[in-house]
Chain A
């Protein structure tokens, strides 16, 4: 099981080098790609106007590494070209690069040309490294879905469980968060949480232990839960926190970063191949962890490197 950020790149290297494709890379992407290439994680493939790509690479640390350029001079086609190369297996991982996030998400969800399997849902999982002990926790959805229905929450949870498995968490403990720990028909999040928890009890999420609704104090502290008369294997040792909606998810992730100074990295889940976004609350030094996570998430045996 992977317990810290520093273990992730080391583990990812074991799987061999992957091809990571970047539409219209930004200047800040180049040193990161050079670092990932030097670490033996990826061979970057840059897609865009030929001369601008050369300007970016020449004289940069990436010039000394193995990389590929794909010339696509029509800016409207760059993202589509990159996704097509992932679909065809010419690349393993898609990175946001210069694509606008909403355009990227729309392209991923495209029924004909995207990367979303039928019936799936694209969601974002933030991985945090705990401050006081070596443990990784997952929080979802912190970026993509605004107000998911219970059906969508089921899929968002399945996506997070998949990332949990990639990190080696065999029987993840899941807290389905709400304002209170009691089921209250006046608070819709508690109803969804109760449904998901019942589904978990019936083994619909495999070995995962799904507890909900849980308020954050019961999720974080076994003593707090005990004082509220709540006994659960999940309290005080949660692996995955499922939030009710995006106001909570996005603000919670930011609060952990800015108030808690907790390190974070994240990944898009639900797509047929790993996708990496570029979010402001992920520090520059943790973007390599995101690449390594994406490498770990590549289907086994499907390497192009």
Chain B
């Protein structure tokens, strides 16, 4: 069972190097992450994009690209399509993005999933490693669906449950988050919680459980004194997966790692393998962590398929 980001780092060394289609690594910080990941034995990069820009970024971080395959591509969608096609054709078990807006990557994935007839919805899972919590906590969907409806939320849950099964959790616990409180009537996000809980109980999402908690107050104080006590914050009942009601909520909360003592690591799980999608503001160490996670998941997905 994988409990921490350091588990990913350890396992990535064991399972790597894996071929990674790297899309537009034209930024110094991202190229540095590719270099570190190669040196750590996680990946063997295939570099796709504007070769001149790629070489310039590599030079800045003293990274010798001569051993690696390079594929020329000149505009965002073209580069993205090339890399994601490599993932779906089985040429590379992982894809990762550099300086390309994520929307292009999502578009490529959606097209390839449609071609493959997988029926898989594209969603992003952002893990948090939180001191004092003995498992990774995943916010989802933090990247694709702006305001998912009930059906889309069901698909987003299935994707996250699939990932947790791969991480070794046979029956992950899920909280469907909502801003529901004692005023303002019933929120749409809370109505979705009620429907999703019924669907989970009926087995619609496979082995998993949707808890009664829909807020952090419920999660941290559930069933006890309904007032925060900083000396006794209890995270024992922290679910594994936190389904966010919208992209605004998900993105704003999951990136609180810029502020709080938590570490974030995100990815997209497609039907053919993980896509590493660091934010344009992430730093190299954080990107390396995300690459390690993709390597381990790719390895486990390969075994699952076999």
Contacts and interface: CB of A to CB of B under 8 A. Distances in A.
Contacts of B228: 257-258, 280-283
A68 B29 CA distance: 65
Contacts of A252: 249, 252-253, 256
Given A251-B179, A258-B216, 9 more contacts: A224-B281, A228-B281, A247-B178, A251-B253, A255-B216, A255-B253, A256-B260, A260-B256, A281-B217
A246 B187 contact: yes
21 contacts: A146-B187, A179-B146, A216-B251, A216-B255, A217-B258, A217-B281, A220-B255, A247-B177, A247-B189, A248-B248, A251-B215, A255-B260, A257-B216, A258-B235, A259-B130, A260-B256, A260-B260, A261-B230, A261-B233, A283-B228, A283-B230
A228 B258 CA distance: 15
A258 B215 CA distance: 11
A178 interface: yes
B215 A178 contact: no
Interface of A: 100-102, 105, 143-146, 177-180, 186-187, 189, 215-218, 220-221, 223-225, 227-228, 243-252, 254-261, 263, 280-284
Interface stretch (B17-25, B33-41, B149-157, B219-227): B219-227
Nearest to B101: A182
Given A228-B281, A246-B179, A259-B260, A254 B217 contact: yes
B150 to A, nearest CB: 15
Nearest to A218: B281
Given A101-B182, A248-B253, A255-B253, A220 B258 contact: yes
Nearest to A102: B183
Nearest to B137: A259
A247 B281 contact: no
Given A261-B233, A281-B228, A247 B187 contact: yes
A228 B183 contact: no
A268 to B, nearest CB: 11
B198 interface: no
Nearest to A100: B182
B279 interface: yes
B262 interface: yes
Contacts of A257: 216, 228
Nearest to B182: A101
A143 B248 contact: no
A143 B249 contact: no
B181 interface: yes
Contacts, number: 152
B183 A227 contact: no
Given A220-B258, A284-B227, A249 B179 contact: yes
B259 interface: yes
Contacts of B111: none
B252 A177 contact: yes
Given A255-B253, A258-B216, A284-B227, A216 B233 contact: no
Interface string B254-268: 011011111000000
Interface of B: 29, 130, 146, 177-179, 181-185, 187, 189, 215-217, 219-221, 226-230, 233, 235, 244-253, 255-256, 258-262, 279-281
Nearest to A230: B281
A102 B248 contact: no
Given A187-B146, A250-B215, A102 B249 contact: no
A228 B230 contact: no
Contacts of A101: 181-183
A186 B146 contact: yes
A189 B229 CA distance: 34
Contacts of A145: 184
Nearest to A213: B248
B92 to A, nearest CB: 26
B179 A215 contact: no
A221 B252 CA distance: 13
Contact of B183 (A143, A186, A216): A143
B129 to A, nearest CB: 12
Contact of A248 (B182, B246, B262): B246
Nearest to A227: B281
B133 to A, nearest CB: 9
B216 A216 contact: no
Given A243-B252, A247-B177, A187 B247 contact: yes
A244 B247 CA distance: 11
Nearest to B279: A217
Contacts of A179: 146, 246-248, 250-252
A288 B133 CA distance: 31
B179 A248 contact: yes
A245 B248 contact: yes
A282 B217 CA distance: 11
A221 B178 CA distance: 27
